[in-house]
Amino acid sequence: MSPSPPLPVVALAILTTLFPGAAMSTAQTDALAPEQARRDILALNEQYIDAARTGDAAWFREHMAEDVVVVLGSGSRLTKPGFLAMVEDEPRAFRSLTLENVTVRVFGPTVQVDADAPWELEDGKRGVSRYIDTYAWIDGRWQVVSAQITLLPPDEP
């Protein structure tokens, strides 16, 4: 007597037999593989910072879920339209904006990335923003579903 296949394999076989459209494509399952998800989010995180540096509202419009929530260090909660308006109407002139201490944690179809983003504005003002962004696999692609951005206090001399 041969051993029975694991229950998840049996359940998947039943689902795909009853509902052929329920099967995920290889591209979808590859995107959800932890190492692929990590690589995808690291690349998107770099693009996110580039978009913030250049004020690229179009990038955020494309990569943020419609019901994204962005929480600023002030406690302000922004929806997608509010965040896009901030990017478009209140552009920042960065001299530099970089990344440090990047951590990516994969939870299946949800991934969190957190990091420190040291920055300097054209007027010489400097700071470090600490953020955590959550991405979810929605409609066959990674989308930002939440972001929290906090300005760290200046270092003591």
pLDDT band at 19 (very low <50, low <70, confident <90, very high): low
Domain boundaries, the chain: 24-151
Residue 150 forms beta bridges with which residues? 130
Q: What confidence score (pLDDT) does residue 46 get?
A: 97
Break the chain down into helix, strand, coil percent, rounded to 5.
Answer: 40, 35, 25
Residue 6 has pLDDT above 70, yes or no: no
CATH 3.10.450.50 fits 24-151, yes or no: yes
Residue 43 has pLDDT above 70, yes or no: yes
Query: Is residue 104 within 8 Å of residue 39, measured between CB atoms?
Result: no
Q: What confidence score (pLDDT) does residue 154 get?
A: 82
pLDDT band at 32 (very low <50, low <70, confident <90, very high): confident
Q: What confidence score (pLDDT) does residue 157 get?
A: 41
Residue 100 has pLDDT above 80, yes or no: yes
Burial pattern 76-90, b for ≥16 Cβ within 10 A else e, equals eebebeebbebbeee
In angstroms, the CA 70 to CA 48 distance is 14
